[in-house]
Structure 1
Amino acid sequence: VANNIGDNRIQFSVTLPATKNAFTEEEIQIKSISSKAVNTEVENEIASKQDKTKLLIVEDNTDIKDFIVSLFKDSFVIITANNGQEGIDKTLEKLPDIVISDIMMPVKDGIELCHEIKTNKLTSHIPVVLLTAKVGEENEIKGYKTGADAYITKPFSSEKLKLIVSQLIETRKKLEAYYSKTFNINPELAITSTESDFLKDLQKVLEEHITDTSFTSEKFSKLMLMSRTQLHRKLNAIVGMSTSEFIRSQRLKLAKKLLQESDSSISEIAYQVGFNTPSYFNKCFKEVYGTTPKEYITKRD
């Protein structure tokens, strides 16, 4: 509605209906509010926690457990257990980055817990620090025989414990960085025999199936005799990749070798290593190596 309110001045009044019934279905546009935007703060908090290293503390003495928690709570996501069996269960459920465990505990002791962790291929990569009031070389040797990465007698120095944990975490990160950078699976670098066996199985499956275009995460996990979730969590822990990312990295490593040594065309190599399309192969190759396959060949020549 237009109203004359003075010299050369007109006022326009626009009335819009406020009810849904005033519009047809074609005129209504429903825009959903992004849950991502609504939950940004929550998601950031979750991401922050996920970025932190997970530490499992297994100790039946409440005072000692609380003391150890106080040493690491600012830098780690803390998980606790009150005995060896509970510690084993939480290790399998949470897959922590490192475990600190007392030896003398009810239900199952720390020696049994360490043995279970180190002989299970899902958890064999996890460093274990054993704490004990028992002194003497014999007890220490027994601890190391189970696969323990460190053995500390009580009472212990808080700085010593923090330093050992830091060094063990750093060693795992270096191994992860090595795998991520080179894409090489080297069983000789494994810390335990179970871990070595796992990497050998991994290597064997890859050698036999990596060039098969139907070699998916699901097929990979079946051949490794693990669930998809278990294999994903294991690979993420030791190489920092999901199962599909790991398969892709191994195909690209093989493709790079073929580009260096083979006279096959880029498209032929893409299909040979298991990619469904040359275009997707080009995209993935450039993302990883910073150059297209064609540019890579040119530099080689």
Structure 2
Amino acid sequence: MKTKTTILVVEDNYDMREYIKESLSDSYAVEEAVNGEQGVRIAETIIPDLIISDLMMPKMDGNELTRILKNDERTSHIPIIILTAKSGQENKLEGLQIGADDYLTKPFDIQELRVRVENLINIRRKLQEKFSKGDFLARRTDKKLKSIDEKFLAKVLEVIERHISEEDFSIEECSSEVGLSRTHFHKKLKALVGKSPSQYVRTVRLYRAKQLLEGAVGNISDIAYSVGFSSLSYFSRCFKEEFGHTPTDNQK
């Protein structure tokens, strides 16, 4: 059964919060927070797929919530939509400069909000495809990587490659070297690449093997062992699942 996309609604006005929740709950799992302070705590705990936050709230406003979450490696990838009663280009630019992904002025059409939510989720899925494929693996050492998410993935790849020949390299060890708890590591990586940590480690091993095969660096058995596969048959099966052809075909 496919898990519903989770949206966190941060809004101090009860009626508005319930209106948004009821309007989205048919398609999404909706969590609630009554102010920015609570919103940050919940976001750090559940790592939602998207956040809809009011701008003006007690204890912590939407801009501060955005600033905190976008600068935290655990939550920097989460798209944030800011809702505000304020109008004017200056206020919109302020929210966007802090890191908000979209901005909607109250009163708004609920269908427009739904479309914006869907668009941001689709953009995130496209980024997952980009980050999980070989083009990002190939440019992981690019010094032009600027976003927190790109730097995070580059760090993950560096850790995996350092241990790539170790078949028993565990996700606990990987998350520890990256600097996150196992739970946050799983949620962050799943959000960025659409794969669990164990699946992503396998993908990195396979892309490294493909590079070695294309460079004719050793025979298939040696290459399989060098990237952490002790079983040649399992390596061949995984390779075909990932690339659509066998390691032998890759050498032709």
What TM-score, normalized to structure 2?
0.90
Query: d(CA) in 1 for partners of 2:176 and 2:108?
Result: 45
Query: d(CA) in 2 for partners of 1:168 and 1:120?
Result: 20
What secondary structure, in the 3-state scheme, does the structure 1 residue paired with 2:136 have?
coil
Once the two structures are superposed, residues 179-236 of structure 1 have per-residue CA deviations (whole angstroms, 9 ceiling, x without a partner) of 3344734678x99732233123223323433234343212211110111121111111
Query: d(CA) in 2 for partners of 1:143 and 1:296?
Result: 49
Q: Name stretches of at least 5 consecutive residues in structure 1 with no aligned partner.
A: 1-46
Equivalent residues of 1:56, 1:96 under 8 A apart = yes
Pick one of 27, 32, 36 that aligns with 1:84.
36
Q: Which residue of 1 aligns with 2:182?
A: 228
Query: d(CA) in 2 for partners of 1:181 and 1:200?
Result: 13
Q: Which residue of 2 aligns with 1:43?
A: none
Query: d(CA) in 2 for partners of 1:68 and 1:222?
Result: 38
In the TM superposition, 1:7-26 aligns within 5 A as none
- Structure 1, 134-143 or 287-296: larger mean CA deviation: 287-296
Once the two structures are superposed, residues 148-205 of structure 1 have per-residue CA deviations (whole angstroms, 9 ceiling, x without a partner) of 00111111122221221111011001111233344734678x9973223312322332
Q: Which residue of 2 aligns with 1:58?
A: 10
Query: d(CA) in 1 for partners of 2:70 and 2:103?
Result: 15
Query: d(CA) in 2 for partners of 1:227 and 1:176?
Result: 21
RMSD: 2.2
Equivalent residues of 1:57, 1:81 under 8 A apart = yes
Q: Name stretches of at least 5 consecutive residues in structure 2 with no aligned partner.
A: none
The answer to whether residue 112 in structure 2 is matched with residue 160 in structure 1 is yes
Pick one of 180, 198, 211 that aligns with 2:152.
198
Q: Which residue of 2 aligns with 1:132?
A: 84
Q: Which residue of 2 aligns with 1:67?
A: 19
Equivalent residues of 1:147, 1:192 under 8 A apart = no
Equivalent residues of 2:53, 2:82 under 8 A apart = yes
Q: Percent identity?
A: 42
Pick one of 76, 91, 94 that aligns with 1:142.
94
Q: Which one has a bigger Cα radius of gyration?
A: 1
- Structure 1, 282-291 or 206-215: larger mean CA deviation: 206-215
Equivalent residues of 2:8, 2:43 under 8 A apart = yes
Pick one of 258, 262, 266 that aligns with 2:220.
266
AA at the equivalent of 2:36: G
What is the aligned length?
249
The answer to whether residue 243 in structure 2 is matched with residue 289 in structure 1 is yes
Change (3 A) 1:82 1:191: farther
What secondary structure, in the 3-state scheme, does the structure 1 residue paired with 2:200 have?
helix
Once the two structures are superposed, residues 241-261 of structure 1 have per-residue CA deviations (whole angstroms, 9 ceiling, x without a partner) of 111111110000011111111
Residue 275 of structure 1, CA deviation: 1.8
Equivalent residues of 1:83, 1:107 under 8 A apart = yes
Change (3 A) 1:191 1:102: farther
Once the two structures are superposed, residues 50-72 of structure 1 have per-residue CA deviations (whole angstroms, 9 ceiling, x without a partner) of 1x211111101011111111221
What TM-score, normalized to structure 1?
0.76
Query: d(CA) in 2 for partners of 1:257 and 1:266?
Result: 12
Equivalent residues of 2:164, 2:226 under 8 A apart = no
Change (3 A) 1:75 1:162: same
AA at the equivalent of 1:148: A
Change (3 A) 1:263 1:112: closer
AA at the equivalent of 1:228: R
Residue 77 of structure 1, CA deviation: 0.7
Equivalent residues of 2:145, 2:151 under 8 A apart = no
- Structure 1, 250-259 or 283-292: larger mean CA deviation: 283-292
Pick one of 184, 191, 199 that aligns with 1:245.
199
Q: Looking at both structures, which has the greater relative contact order when contacts are Cα pairs under 8 Å and sequence separation is at least 6? A: 2
